[in-house]
Structure 1
Amino acid sequence: MVKRGSSIGFFGMFGRSQDLRRLDAALREAGLHPVQVSEGAKLAAIGLMASGRAADPPATAYPPVGALMAYCALGEEAFARENGGERLSETRGRLEAALEAGEGLDAEIVLLMLHANLVHPELVERYDIRAEEG
């Protein structure tokens, strides 16, 4: 599910859409270079953020999503180096709450990262993260 109007550009002739630029900036801010996340995963994340909304997600919605995606991809140690202990604790708590609840935006982002094969093996093992069939 891709949000209408999202664009990765076309042969360098058209620029990336604002939502993709915002997510790229949020990933960078959290210590993960955006090229490490496929365009498809980023478009899907934006689609999840926009799901059920009449308007585009506000600019403030991107940093928390970028942080969770970065935490999933980098693992705890690298994320802590890039973001510090306070942000690590906050983001770890969001991951744990998402896994406990099994629903909501954070849970959907974690599932997206799992299906994109972007969850750090340390986190997969520690939290026994897996997608259940059905």
Structure 2
Amino acid sequence: MIKRGVSFGFLGRFGRSADLRYLDAALEEFRLHSGVVPDGVKMVAVSLMAQDGSEPEPAAYSPVGALMALSFYGAEEFARLNGPEATGVTLTRLETALEKGEGLDASIILLMLHSRLLHQSLREEYGIEADEARS
């Protein structure tokens, strides 16, 4: 479910909602061009962030942007673009999310997996997979 108030504008006349602008900036902060991630994926991500009913602070978007960028690039390329410190912190968050299997970070990883944006190296290294529906 998409939270109320999130929008990406209409015919260039209305601007993107603040939460999408914050997420776009967070993605760019970690060297992932915001245009690479489909708006629908970003809308779900900001909805997940506000799942408890409260609006996240602007600073809350940076860790989500980092996790999405790591998911997209894989650890090696993320490290090359963002350095070892950001990589260590973000990999720890990914590993913790996979251990717990719940929470915002786990939901973001699952979103990236189902959106086909999760890097193959992470899928292989951590055994991340989803059951595919069979018809």
Q: In which range does the TM-score fall when normalised by the shorter chain? A: over 0.9
- Map of 1:113 onto structure 2: 112
- Map of 2:66 onto structure 1: 67
State the distance in 1 between where 2:16 and 2:92 align.
32
Query: Residue by residue, what CA displacement relative to the aligned partner does 1:63-117 show, whole Å, maximum 9, x if unpaired?
Result: 0000000000011111111211011000001001111110010000000000000
The ranges of structure 1 where at least 4 consecutive aligned residues each deviate by more than 2 angstroms after the TM superposition are none
- Map of 2:48 onto structure 1: 48
Query: Residue by residue, what CA displacement relative to the aligned partner does 1:50-74 show, whole Å, maximum 9, x if unpaired?
Result: 0012x31110110000000000001
Indicate the RMSD between aligned Cα atoms, in angstroms: 1.3
Percent identical across equivalent pairs? 57
State the distance in 2 between where 1:10 and 1:81 align.
37
State the distance in 2 between where 1:122 and 1:32 align.
17
State the distance in 2 between where 1:4 and 1:111 align.
22
Is there any run of 5+ residues in structure 2 with no aligned partner, and where? none
Is there any run of 5+ residues in structure 1 with no aligned partner, and where? none
- Map of 1:124 onto structure 2: 123
Query: Residue by residue, what CA displacement relative to the aligned partner does 1:110-132 show, whole Å, maximum 9, x if unpaired?
Result: 00000000000111111110125
State the distance in 1 between where 2:78 and 2:36 align.
14
TM-score, with structure 1 as normaliser: 0.95
Aligned pairs, number: 133
- Map of 1:16 onto structure 2: 16
Query: Residue by residue, what CA displacement relative to the aligned partner does 1:36-57 show, whole Å, maximum 9, x if unpaired?
Result: 111110000000000012x311
- Map of 2:92 onto structure 1: 93
- Map of 2:34 onto structure 1: 34
